[in-house]
Amino acid sequence: MKFNSWYLTSFLISFIVLIPIITVFTSFFENTSNYYEILKNTFLIEYILNSFFLLLSVLILTFILGTGTAYLVSFYKFPGSNFFKWALILSFAVPPYIYAYSLTAFFENYGTAFTILKNLFGDANYNKNIPKFDGMFGAILSISFSLYAYVYILARASFLYQSQNLIDLGKNLGFSKFKSFYKIILPAARPAIVAGLSLVAMETLAEFGAVDFFSINTLTTGIYNSWITFDDLAFANRVSFFLLIFIFSLFILENLSRRKAKYHLNSKGGFKQKEKIKLFGKKSFLAFTFCFTVFFISFLFPLSQMLYWTIKFPENLFDLQIIDLVLNTLYLVVLSSSVLLIFSLISNYGNRVSNNKTLNILSTLSISGYAIPGVILAIAFITFIAWFDNSIIKFLGFTSIKKLFIGSILGLVLVYFVRFYSLAFNGIKSGYEKINISVDEGAYLLGYSKRKTFMNIHIPFLRNSLLFIVILISLEIIRELPITLILRPFNFETFATTAYISASEDLLEAAAVPSLFLILIASLFIIITSKYILRELHE
């Protein structure tokens, strides 16, 4: 084993990413104040129950939406099936919190639904007949319709890879279409679907914007509120600990199912391109209706609500510094994704060349940043910097470093780094797994240095994985809310923070303009890269 510079660098990177996670864990053992002890105990149960209920409902709904649409577009031909294939991913462009604004705007007393009814049928009090999608129910809908695309993408990828033989088998056994679906197709795609669902689960537990908007106490908002209201970081950390346990179990589950997925793919044997069945008449209509409804509710509905408000209250359009916001967003995207790419490449390469167990474990642990909600990461970061500054920097007699990290782009990018490191690291790792180690050995034999092997051989090989990672990270950062909100510098806004701040001031119609732009930019991005997103996940 060699302690070379590669090893040290990747060790350092993993360690930095681990700091907030360690902060959360260590403070679990601190004492909480007695004053609110009883109050908190009752809160804790409420948080856990709410989180669990929310999670379960979202999982059921995203499963139905995701696998249903994926099944239809992968096995059948019907009007629009080629369009839906990529259009269904567009829901990624609508973050749950913007979906929540749209739901409220449309269904509230005297909201858009009321206006439509009034214009159609004349004056009357329709409010009582308009269903109210708020509170827990609203949050479930907002999160599900925004996140089902994870399940859709992964399920579809898996469906596409199912061999024709398997489907023929169902036919030969005389199964009906429905029976072959749930007896053969669904079980075969299970690992992919579970992987999609666990992504949904992690995002749901970490969700802040929509849940906060509907003021539901989940573990995540509970942590935030106990920190804010009770000033009790120790309690907040204790709740975080529960959340982490929750999330780690999901994490393990996901890893297990991924292992299965690998097995499944390797054994697929004679792959025969299957032919899509053309649907006619009523069936074709039903398939179209299902996909269109999902597409409409998940994407067209929030888009048109935001568009409607922008047109109805155009003055908000002129108040917004659109160019600044675009530049800020681009700045964050470019900066963060380059930092993430560079360091994940280095640590992956370090892992590869030093092949060290400790390092492997450390880097596996360090990717759990993605599982920790952004709000908690941001809090842990501030706590850590404040502690580090007060106890070490001040002790050594240096000037405070707080301003360098809290409320600065540097701090913001650093926490993004911790949060999204897993995306970048895993993406590159799976790319690396495709490059046989003998390729490296061959390069060394030809007299290539490690650096040259890395630059001239690995990077070109990894190009596709790198591109895909950039797409994912960019989408995440365009939508990111809590970290940006807590850590951004003076006079620095993104579309997400502008929308959130207007919405929190009961100025939903002013939130519409930044929301609309966020959706448009993210959609544009998805449309440009959609072929790529769909292709990459096949592999």
Distance of closest approach, residue 485 Cβ to other proteins, in angstroms? 6
Closer residue to other proteins in complex, CB, 440/509: 509
Q: Which of 475, 365, 419 is nearest to 202 (CA)?
A: 419
Distance of closest approach, residue 73 Cβ to other proteins, in angstroms? 38
Round to whole Å and give the CA distance between 60 and 225: 28
User: For residues 394 and 46, is the Cβ–Cβ distance under 8 A?
Assistant: no
Distance of closest approach, residue 228 Cβ to other proteins, in angstroms? 4
Closer residue to other proteins in complex, CB, 60/334: 334
Closer residue to other proteins in complex, CB, 430/504: 504
Distance of closest approach, residue 319 Cβ to other proteins, in angstroms? 6
Distance of closest approach, residue 413 Cβ to other proteins, in angstroms? 8
> How far is C-alpha 209 from the geometric centre of its chain's CA atoms?
13
The single-letter code of the amino acid at 267 is S
Distance of closest approach, residue 37 Cβ to other proteins, in angstroms? 12
Query: Residues interacting with other proteins, by CB under 8 A?
Result: 39, 108-111, 114-115, 118, 125, 127-128, 134-135, 215, 225, 227-229, 231, 312-313, 319, 334-335, 338, 379, 382-383, 386, 389-390, 400, 402-404, 406-410, 413, 485-486, 488-491, 493, 497, 501-502, 504-507, 509-510
Q: Which two tokens stand for residue 107?
A: 């269904």
Closer residue to other proteins in complex, CB, 480/509: 509
Distance of closest approach, residue 127 Cβ to other proteins, in angstroms? 4
What residues have CB less than 8 Å from 358, skipping those under 6 apart? none
CB atoms within 10 A of CB 194: 21
Q: Which residues pair with 77 in a beta bridge?
A: 278
3-class SS of residue 277: strand
Closer residue to other proteins in complex, CB, 134/203: 134
Round to whole Å and give the CA distance between 156 and 501: 37
3-class SS of residue 278: strand
Closer residue to other proteins in complex, CB, 126/525: 126
What residues have CB less than 8 Å from 85, skipping those under 6 apart? 73, 156, 534
Closer residue to other proteins in complex, CB, 319/433: 319
User: For residues 88 and 101, is the Cβ–Cβ distance under 8 A?
Assistant: no
Closer residue to other proteins in complex, CB, 332/424: 332
Q: Please state the φ and ψ torsions of residue 446, each to the nearest 5 degrees.
A: -80, 0
Closer residue to other proteins in complex, CB, 135/187: 135
Distance of closest approach, residue 483 Cβ to other proteins, in angstroms? 11
Q: Which of 234, 258, 248, 238 is nearest to 205 (CA)?
A: 248
Q: Please state the φ and ψ torsions of residue 269, each to the nearest 5 degrees.
A: 65, -145
Q: Please state the φ and ψ torsions of residue 178, each to the nearest 5 degrees.
A: -65, -40
Distance of closest approach, residue 345 Cβ to other proteins, in angstroms? 15
Distance of closest approach, residue 297 Cβ to other proteins, in angstroms? 23
Distance of closest approach, residue 501 Cβ to other proteins, in angstroms? 5
3-class SS of residue 76: strand
Q: Which residues pair with 76 in a beta bridge?
A: 277
Closer residue to other proteins in complex, CB, 16/64: 16
CB atoms within 10 A of CB 233: 20
- Do β-strands 277-278 and 76-77 pair in parallel, antiparallel, or remain unpaired? parallel
Distance of closest approach, residue 462 Cβ to other proteins, in angstroms? 18
Round to whole Å and give the CA distance between 178 and 156: 17
Residue 218 to residues 53, 62, 207, 228, 373, Cα–Cα distance (Å): 10, 19, 9, 15, 12
Closer residue to other proteins in complex, CB, 433/506: 506
Residue 131 to residues 104, 140, 337, 388, Cα–Cα distance (Å): 11, 15, 42, 51
Q: Which two tokens stand for residue 185?
A: 């197709």
Range 180-183 contact pairs with CB under 8 angstroms and sequence separation of 24 or more: 181/71
Distance of closest approach, residue 113 Cβ to other proteins, in angstroms? 10
User: For residues 298 and 146, is the Cβ–Cβ distance under 8 A?
Assistant: yes
Closer residue to other proteins in complex, CB, 115/284: 115
Closer residue to other proteins in complex, CB, 107/148: 107
> How far is C-alpha 110 from the geometric centre of its chain's CA atoms?
33
